[in-house]
Amino acid sequence: MTRRQYQFAAIMLAVFSLVGAVSAIAEDAGTQQLVAATTKKVDFESDVKPILESRCVDCHGPEDPEAKFRILSRKSLLRGGESGEPAIVPASSADSFLIKVVAGLDPHLKMPPEGPRLTSQQIAVLRAWIDQGLAMPDADASSDIDRTDHWSFQPIGNPEPPQLEDKFAASPIDAFILKKLQEQQLAPSSRADRRTLIRRLFLVMLGLPPTPEQVTEFVNDDSPNAWKNLVDQVLESPRYGERWARHWLDLIRFGETHGFETNRERPNAWPYRDWVINALNSDKPYDDFVRQQIAGDAFGEPIGTGFLVAGPHDIVKGRDPNLALMQRQDELSDMINATTTAFLGMTIGCARCHNHKFDPITQRDFYAVQAVFAGVQHADQKLPVPSECQKEIANVQEQIRELRRKLVEFIPPTESGLREAVTAKHNVDTFGPVEAKQVRFTILKTSSSQPCIDELEIFAGEKNVALASAGAIATCSSSLPGYEIHKLQHINDGVYGNKRSWISNEAGAGWVQIEFPKPQRIDRVEWARDRESQYGDRVAIEYRIEVAAKSGEWHVVSSSDDRLPFGQSNQAEPVYAFDKATSDRAAEGRQWLTELKVAEKKAAGLSVVPMVYAGTFQQPGPTHRLYRGDHNARREVVGPDAIESLGSLKLPGDAAEQKRRVAFAEWVADSANPLTARVIANRLWQFHFGTGIVDTPSDFGANGTLPTHPELLDWLARDLMNNGWSLKHLHRQMLMSNTWQQSSRPDSSSLKVDGATRLLWRFPPRRIEAEVIRDSILVVTGKLDTKMGGQGFSGFEVELENVRHFHPKSTYGPEDFRRMIYMTKVRQEQESVFGSFDCPDASQVTPKRSRSTTPLQALNLLNSSFVIEQAKFFAERLEKSAPPSDDGKVTLAFALCFGRLPGEQELADSRTFIEQAGLQQFCRAMLNANEFVFVP
């Protein structure tokens, strides 16, 4: 056991011992009634301390001399023990766990189990001490907060790089690395050759091998800035964002199916993947990258909140309210875990059921953070229409109105004076502007069963004022129980379709009501059964719409009385007759009609609202601390806040939902936060060198490992912040260092001292990831489709049953030859060929992938239909592009696969192999070579 673990265990024992030391039932408390507090002023030194000290000795004995010190700690009393239950609630002895125990109100916690117990007088003294404010010597409010001297919780330093007389120490990074090497009597390796460097650079930064032409150009570039120019070129490549986005998506458990039993698709999840790629390519400042994923809806980047709901989601709901509560707690825990591990490198999820065992994170902290995210719901959301597009839509609609006005003269008279009948897809009720605080939609008759409405929109001009996100509150006569997709909260969540709708629990009847935060002048109501046109039942065919400026003063503004009966219709489109007009006027009318059809088609295209799986947001109710994480064991209400030992959001308990996430995002992204910059700097280092300076990249707490180069980590974090949080700047610092450019050749003496190469006496070689192997194969064979963005391609043949079944693909076509980051990420399944190369399951966060070597990997790479087909394409490319001799084909194959020319023996062996097995088998062997799948 480490010293820190021992200290933690001792503190926990002390907290429980405190309860035990003073928890004996009063000798005359057989009735288990709470003894009243004494009314006299209690002095800690003379009245309270003797009780605590005497009971401490009774419990611990003289062999634990530090017990008295621990038991008299105000902080330990307020923090509580492992369960997270505070021993004392200041100024409220009746609610204090300690008093309940010593009074014998809990038969399961009589401590100590033997020996004398507290008297009624002693209990009364303790109660008075608590009620009078828990006065203790030298105690103040700041001492109640858990603090720690752990390195990662300390402010980020500004260390000066060591001053070393060595040409290797050409940059601050090199100076820190060399100093540590010298301490271990190690020496750095020489610089790698140019062919190795360009191949390493392309594989690490782009996830693709360089072309033979790029290798030749760099090798022959004699300019002093050749390497710098190549680094700049790579950082500006759009392939960079695709490569490094994969690291981020692993980390935040991004998937394009829901997981769990049904594992249904998330067809609108991909825009978040593209958002990450674009953010990295544009070098979005990392602090903004953080903010926009926690509260992007407040910062003009709504797609960013796809981060919050990127994890698995159980869409199978039941009638059991306990199941629903448990599922919701699991969802929120997933959000908290992903957020705090990704950005802060802290395992706050460990405090869901009890105080954190190793770090200064209380159970109350966990639920304070839960209160920040309590209003986030898994769902698609509409993306806002850009202002330029809105202007274009308005112009087109105005054009349509003008053309229709002109064409009125060509419409023959009609006898029908009624409005169109109600439809399932969309209905509009307009009326003169009226002041309203409440609007009620009452259903009088339906086409079948209970009525269903997918969204009730109420407009004041062009603004929908009914949205819950705008503060509107929905109520109803009843809701159909047991269906997660049919809930009252969906009536004004801004999402269309049956899967986010309300159904009343009354056959053919019911009402739903919207109340605004303040009176609104409204003139239109829009509603539908299902605007996605998937369902046509449960339509409200008779209804009335009432408004009230004051509660109870209702009057009708629209109804179904002036509509055609359901199922009947006027002409869907006006019929224009030009035969009675003059020829010139008829020609003009026909031209207007042509223009109208073009405009309507354009309007239809512009009106398609893009959707993204980025969650929806609603004002949450109170959040309670849950005793041992049990949703049925609510304790005190907890307001939205950060981890107390690191700071506070200073928000009121009823803060608006969005303000909670904004405040939390600002706290995380603040340069004063000691974790954020350190964590991301360490992650970049990890993906460059294979292992982070801290090799537990998502646990910077006491249970994580210590940094190998703490001063270097602080220097990187400070340099990141001083340069606008630019990740590309930090990449450039690492890539330009001599440390990064070292040879990867082993050295026997150095291996004995540092076998894992943690001190970086050489560049650590490693196998490339599954995505890089697949993409590299497609580059070499000439089949890679570099199309960026948009919906991805499937790596499976999907059996579309209620529970999805994903089968390996048997054939591949051009649509499968995009980069693997665009392959739909399916939870709980692995792509049949490359999934075996340690691809993580998106059901959980993956800060670093494992690196295994298994027979299945070798078999897949050698015998899969994908690789065999690509070997055929590779051979065809060599036949077409290489000189006709076998030596010419071998030379081009080595240049494409390894970025170098073959040696004489390699050339001879390859020639013999081709003669015996054929060119395609040679190509197959090249794609299976160790050199092909390793970062040199």
Contact call for residues 360 and 146 (beta carbons, < 8 A): yes
User: Looking at residues 153-173, what average pLDDT do you find?
Assistant: 95
Contact call for residues 344 and 675 (beta carbons, < 8 A): yes
Tell me, what's the pLDDT at 11? Answer: 40
Structure tokens, 105:
């109100």
Tens-digit pLDDT profile for residues 727-737: 999 999 999 99
Alpha-carbon span 492 to 828, nearest angstrom: 34
Structure tokens, 778:
């497609």
Structure tokens, 176:
């820190």
User: Looking at residues 316-329, what average pLDDT do you find?
Assistant: 91
Tell me, what's the pLDDT at 49? Answer: 80
Tell me, what's the pLDDT at 62? Answer: 45
Tell me, what's the pLDDT at 18? Answer: 40
User: Torsion angle of alpha carbons 512, 514, 520, 522, nearest 10°?
Assistant: -30
Tell me, what's the pLDDT at 54? Answer: 65
Question: 65 versus 577: which is more confidently predicted?
Answer: 577
User: Looking at residues 330-359, what average pLDDT do you find?
Assistant: 94
Tell me, what's the pLDDT at 117? Answer: 76
User: Could you tell me which of 724, 712, 730 has the C-alpha nearest to residue 669?
Assistant: 724
Alpha-carbon span 639 to 210, nearest angstrom: 53
Chain Cα centroid distance, residue 914: 50
Contact call for residues 198 and 215 (beta carbons, < 8 A): yes
User: Looking at residues 837-865, what average pLDDT do you find?
Assistant: 94
Whole-number mean pLDDT of the chain? 89
- CA dist list (Å): 253 to 812, 821, 849: 27, 14, 13
Alpha-carbon span 508 to 476, nearest angstrom: 14
Tell me, what's the pLDDT at 409? Answer: 78
Tens-digit pLDDT profile for residues 704-718: 999 999 999 999 999
Chain Cα centroid distance, residue 711: 30
User: Looking at residues 331-357, what average pLDDT do you find?
Assistant: 94
The answer, yes or no, to whether residue 511 has pLDDT greater than 80, is yes
- Name the pairing type of β-strands 427-446 and 510-528: antiparallel
Question: 828 versus 39: which is more confidently predicted?
Answer: 828
CB atoms within 10 A of CB 315: 17
By mean pLDDT, which of 105-114, 219-228, 397-406, 684-693 is the weakest? 105-114
Q: Which percentage of the chain shows pLDDT scores above 70?
A: 89
User: Looking at residues 753-761, what average pLDDT do you find?
Assistant: 96
Tell me, what's the pLDDT at 111? Answer: 58
Q: What is the DSSP letter of 418?
A: S
The answer, yes or no, to whether residue 464 has pLDDT greater than 80, is yes
Alpha-carbon span 927 to 780, nearest angstrom: 9
The answer, yes or no, to whether residue 520 has pLDDT greater than 70, is yes
Tens-digit pLDDT profile for residues 618-668: 999 999 999 899 999 999 999 999 999 999 999 999 999 999 999 999 999
Question: Residue 51: how many CA atoms within 13 Å on its side-chain side?
Answer: 25
Q: Residue 686: pLDDT band by 50, 70, 90 thresholds?
A: very high
Tell me, what's the pLDDT at 70? Answer: 46
The answer, yes or no, to whether residue 347 has pLDDT greater than 70, is yes
The answer, yes or no, to whether residue 420 has pLDDT greater than 60, is yes
Alpha-carbon span 431 to 745, nearest angstrom: 80
Q: Residue 400: pLDDT band by 50, 70, 90 thresholds?
A: confident
The answer, yes or no, to whether residue 60 has pLDDT greater than 50, is no
User: Torsion angle of alpha carbons 445, 497, 375, 828, nearest 10°?
Assistant: 130
pTM: 0.76
Q: 406-424: b or e for each residue (b if 16 or more CB lie within 10 Å)?
A: ebeebeeeeeeeebebbbb
Alpha-carbon span 456 to 466, nearest angstrom: 7
Tens-digit pLDDT profile for residues 281-305: 999 999 999 999 999 999 999 999 9
Helix axes 727-735, 710-722, angle to 10 degrees: 130
What type of residue sits at position 10?
A
Tens-digit pLDDT profile for residues 243-273: 999 999 999 999 999 999 999 999 999 999 9
Contact call for residues 272 and 787 (beta carbons, < 8 A): no
User: Looking at residues 412-437, what average pLDDT do you find?
Assistant: 81
> Per DSSP, what are the bridge partners of residue 556?
546
Chain Cα centroid distance, residue 600: 39
Biggest distance spanned by C-alpha atoms of the chain: 115
Q: What is the DSSP letter of 44?
A: I
Tens-digit pLDDT profile for residues 531-590: 888 899 999 999 999 999 998 899 999 999 988 889 876 555 667 889 888 999 999 999
User: Looking at residues 34-61, what average pLDDT do you find?
Assistant: 69
Q: Residue 367: pLDDT band by 50, 70, 90 thresholds?
A: very high
